[in-house]
Structure 1
């Protein structure tokens, strides 16, 4: 059983400070705070979630700046995902930053072969209608399904009628539920946060099930996230 008792206030203040001074000097001066107040509680939090959900892996704290104009060395958040693929994964996600906690479930970005299957299912009279009706039900539960990490196409993709009854969904490149718990609320400092996130993930199960059945995993995507196992102990590891 996990020993998670909530995220300490210092976890949020650490990232507030990092936003102001994203430097190696700040990180080294506050490494113990990150290790004990952010990294360790997040590990315990993930262990608590794994009692009902697939294992999640922490993202490494260092940013990949090789192809970025922004050379800030560290991510302004700590988070984890159940998927190893940056494109083509369907799973769960959680992250903490200075403003609070965010969690998600679904396909953030679909691979090409997934898009083909997703659009074929949306075009199908039964499966497409099921998806549309599901989005209405989830929206009523304050769990709206969104297009994911990439902007939808401006036009309906080739091969589908411009006046298709589900044209908006055909333009999507992802399908994900994102729940943003705005603000540093008191329950974030208690074990209640586990039940809050579990409730979102359980509520999102209809979306995940539909995607698993009608879209499935990508057979062609080799693009990967760079999350590390929870063996990561400090930002100095590479």
Structure 2
């Protein structure tokens, strides 16, 4: 079957250097746009080009999972940079972030959406309910599902070539290709324009402002 196994580590693009993420969450979010996240799943290697992300800082960001300090759950957010922070929401979905900032300082970028780069057949096995290819990784839960990201992947180093999930550097995008806007589904600091997306990408998720349900579940808080 095409695309099966750990077959394509020669895909163009070197791994993103950790130092590029050991900076504030906003430039980290902008840098992640256009990068390629690839994952070795039981069905084959799946890769997406990141087209939408969302930044969350630490104790100065009331929408962040780290706002009240370090816990066992959010420890990955405190560094070092370049590690997956994966958590469970709604009792049914996982969401994935990449840690940034210097070691010991909390921050992460939520991976909100991606464009498929690998075999659509493998992707359809993983996301059989997707109505069209643009929906395969549109939204953080769908992206995590497509790439097979779950609780066991929390803490994975995506800058390590031996990791089953790897982050490959894309060409930095020009400012004209990037849009920013409010974060999604958060009750606090929702007005901050810390969501970044690639202008014109059909895989970018639909914006829905926070509300009562969002305040109760805080499903997109980091």
* Same-fold status (TM-score > 0.5): no
Between structure 1 and structure 2, the one with the greater Rg is: 1
Task: Write 1 or 2 for the structure with the bigger share of strand.
Answer: 2
Task: Write 1 or 2 for the structure with the bigger share of helix.
Answer: 1
Task: Please give the TM-score of this superposition, normalised by the length of structure 1.
Answer: 0.28
